[in-house]
Chains A and B, each alone.
Chain A
Amino acid sequence: MSTRASTLTGRIMSAPSIIVLFLWMAVPLGMTIYFSFLRYNLLSPGMEEWIGTLNYEFFLTDPAFFASLANTLLLVGSVLVITVVGGILLGLMLDQPIFGRGILRLLVIAPFFIMPTVNALVWKNLLMDPVSGMFAWLASLLGLPAIDWFTNVPLTSIIIMVSWQWLPFAVLILLTALQSLDRDQKEAAQMDGAGPVAIFFYITLPHLSRAITVVVLIETIFLLTVFAEIFVTTGGGPGLATTNIAFLVYTQALLQYDVGGASAGGIVAVILANIVAIFLIRLIGKNLDK
């Protein structure tokens, strides 16, 4: 875009899509903000009235809010650690010239193509079921009592499932980054007397830092809103053990029919996501500037 005319043309041409995208985002957000200041319950239609910040007060002072906030952070944090560490290890393995690498890569990527609900059902019915699940069978082979995953360690179970779903994504990004590592650099380090461990920490890991940043940022966005896995398996329970913010908003809106309260919850979730995002970008976003 060098001349003034072409800059203007560019703006005019791109305006429609920008306007549509803006409305697409702004209208629902505006409506949600508006609803969050209303007493708006689907069980009493026609009774909507302006109640100011009351919805927010109720939502933020609800003990369920703090429990679900803690669950959300725990879920996001654990899954991030598992997928990044596991992703690096699997990536390193798949980067080696091992037998059947093509098939192995395909298998590792596969979980990412399975939709979350199916993923949850597979884990719930085939793997973690205390009676007929594979884990129970394995435990019985070892003479151990079967674990009732969703009753005894519900949040851990959710973390395992979500990690399994997101590990391929981390592997995919990190493997690509590994493959772009200049072979000469490793060889230079070898000539400099660095062993495999030193090469990993001094050469490979710094090279991966940008890819790790990308994985953490993108996964965080999606992990803050994990829903299907919880809905299908534990339904947020037992008690509030696996309720995260997204699920709490759902219970407000569709189990208690409280649109106002749910909207307030939704806005709180948006604000929280932004806080986390600012935090993350401050913390690791500088990796992206290089």
Chain B
Amino acid sequence: MGAIRLEKVKKSFGTLDVIPGVDLDINDGEFVVFVGPSGCGKSTLLRLIAGLEDVTDGKILIDGTDVANEAPAKRGLSMVFQSYALYPHMTVYNNIAFGLKMAGESKDVIDQKVQSAAKILNLTDYLERRPGALSGGQRQRVAIGRAIVRNPAAFLFDEPLSNLDAALRVNMRLEITGLHQELKTTMIYVTHDQVEAMTMADKIVVLQAGRVEQVGKPMDLYNNPANKFVAGFIGSPKMNFLGGELAAKHNCHEIGIRPEHLTVSTESGVIAATVKIAEHLGAETYLHVEADGLGPMTVRATGEMPLGEHDKIFLTPEQDRIHRFDAHGLALGPS
């Protein structure tokens, strides 16, 4: 079981409120991703849940019990660190076994649990090695193995993939998702990468400056962002924000349109623009354009597109995909 509930959780360092007060419900078995730009307090929030930082105020309930003043080990959570934090002088086996040893488990129980964790994570052949002799992906797996054996109420991941190269990252992403499907344990995952958030999460929590901007399923955030910040943060390339006359036509301060919701034409359209840079990826083409009177925009067109620098094009937004925002950046809903 691993239902976690945060009630008015607050964290201050001196006079600086890093987290002014967060309420959040995480259901048992859910894969929740905290996402936000660096310095938004997502790691701090995770560390508060883990117990590595003391809360200034508020409650952290795990399965109904307030653990805000409990020691980290007593909370029944496991954490995978960004730096892996493996014990360099211990073998892989001892790294994984350490938590069980501290819990006073018998040798047989430890051995059986370590072996089964090693099997799940393909580490059986490496148990006698030290972390220094492993590759990045293997170290990552050891760190996960160390978390698994303790049979925690929830896993906490603190940007676990940011030290891996791009190809490995995609692999580990799938492995962690697979692990979640297999174990069905609650997972809280911190990342600044919205792609990881979109692909892995059951529920995304978007944070900015310690405040929860929006909570929801990935596609909900994509289709109905609550404000300009979420709209800009979720989705890649970033949403285009346009003000001026075009926005006034939609009765709002600013409109947002995603690069993939713009149709490109060389003959006619709503917005005239000049191509600055065209990135041809084969399956799709990213056009970085300068729209007349509106400034820079990004367009994502499917397939190949024979366009280059200085080409004149016309863009037409899909009408029902236009997001409207008021002067405070809050979403207004469809017009």
Q: Are A188 and B102 in contact (CB under 8 A)?
A: no
The binding surface of chain B is classed by DSSP as loop
Residues of B within 8 A of A194 (CB): 73, 98, 102
| Contact partner, B81, options A184, A193, A198, Cβ 8 Å | A184
A192 at the interface (CB under 8 A from B): yes
Does B85 contact A206, Cβ atoms closer than 8 Å? no
A95 at the interface (CB under 8 A from B): no
Q: Which of chain A's residues have a CB closer than 8 A to the CB of B52?
A: 187, 190-191
Does A50 touch B at the CB level, under 8 Å? no
Complex CA distance for A202 and B73, rounded to whole angstroms:
16
* B 84-110 binary contact with A (CB < 8 Å = 1; else 0): 111111100000001100110000000
Considering only CB atoms, which chain B residue lies closest to A209 in the complex?
B89
Instruction: Return the contact of B87 from the options A185, A191, A290 (Cβ within 8 A).
Output: A185
B85 contact from A185, A198, A207, Cβ within 8 A: A185
Is B146 engaged at the interface, CB distance under 8 Å to the other chain? yes
In the complex, which residues of chain B have a beta carbon less than 8 angstroms from the beta carbon of A49? Answer: none
Verify B77–A193 contact, CB threshold 8 A: no
A62 interface residue per 8 A CB criterion? no
User: Do B89 and A191 touch (CB < 8 A)?
Assistant: no
Nearest-CB residue, chain A, relative to B74: A193
Interfacial chain A residues near B289, Cβ < 8 Å: none
Measured between beta carbons, the chain B residues less than 8 angstroms from A193 are 73, 99, 102-103
Q: Write out, one digit per residue, whether chain B residues 65-91 have a CB within 8 A of any chain A CB (1) or not (0).
A: 000000111000111011111111110
Within 8 Å by CB of A188, from B71, B77, B79, B89, lies B79
Residue from A191, A203, A206 having most chain B Cβ neighbours under 10 A: A191
Which residues, 37 to 58 on B, are CB-close (under 8 Å) to A? 50-52
**With A184-B85, A185-B85 given, is the CB distance from A191 to B73 under 8 Å?**
yes
Residues 133-169 of chain B, each 1 if its beta carbon lies under 8 Å from chain A, else 0: 0000000000000100010000000000000000000
Q: Which residues of chain A have C-beta atoms less than 8 A from B51's C-beta?
A: 191
User: Cβ of A188: which chain B residues have Cβ within 8 Å of it?
Assistant: 79, 81, 85-87, 146
Contact of A192 among B89, B98, B132 (CB under 8 A): B98
- CB contacts (< 8 Å) of A192 on chain B: these are 73, 98-99, 102, 146, 150
- Whether a CB of chain B sits under 8 angstroms from the CB of A182 is yes
Q: Which of A190, A193, A194 has the most CB of B within 10 A?
A: A193
* B50 with A203: CB separation less than 8 A: no
Determine which of A182, A184, A185, A190 lies in contact with B73 in the assembled complex, contact meaning CB atoms within 8 Å. Answer: A190
Q: Which of B83, B86, B102, B146 contacts A198 (CB 8 A)?
A: B102
Q: How far is the CA of A193 from the CA of B52 in the complex (A)?
A: 12
Residues in B neighbouring A191, C-beta threshold 8 A: 50-52, 72-73, 77-79, 99
User: Does any Cβ of B come within 8 Å of A189's Cβ?
Assistant: yes
The CA-CA distance from A188 to B86 in the complex, in Å, is 8
Contact with B along A75-115 (1 / 0, CB 8 A): 00000000000000000000000000000000000000000
Contacts of B73 in A (CB 8 A): 190-194
Cβ of B99 and Cβ of A203 under 8 Å apart? no
A203 (CB) vs chain B CBs: closest residue: B87
Point out the residue from A184, A189, A207, A209 that lies within 8 Å of B98, measured CB to CB: A189
A190 to B2, CA, bound (A): 20
Q: Which residue of B lies closest to A210 (CB)?
A: B89
Contacts of A187 in B (CB 8 A): 52, 72, 79, 81, 85
Q: Which chain A residue lies CB-closest to B75?
A: A191
The 10 A-B residue pairs with the shortest CB-CB distance in the complex, in nearest-first order = A193-B73, A184-B85, A192-B99, A188-B85, A206-B89, A193-B102, A184-B81, A184-B83, A194-B102, A185-B85
* Chain B residues with a Cβ under 8 A of chain A: 50-52, 71-73, 77-79, 81-90, 98-99, 102-103, 132, 146, 150
Given A190-B71, A192-B150, 18 new contacts (CB under 8 A): A182-B83, A184-B84, A185-B85, A185-B87, A187-B52, A188-B81, A190-B52, A190-B72, A191-B51, A191-B73, A191-B78, A192-B73, A192-B146, A193-B99, A198-B102, A202-B90, A206-B87, A206-B89
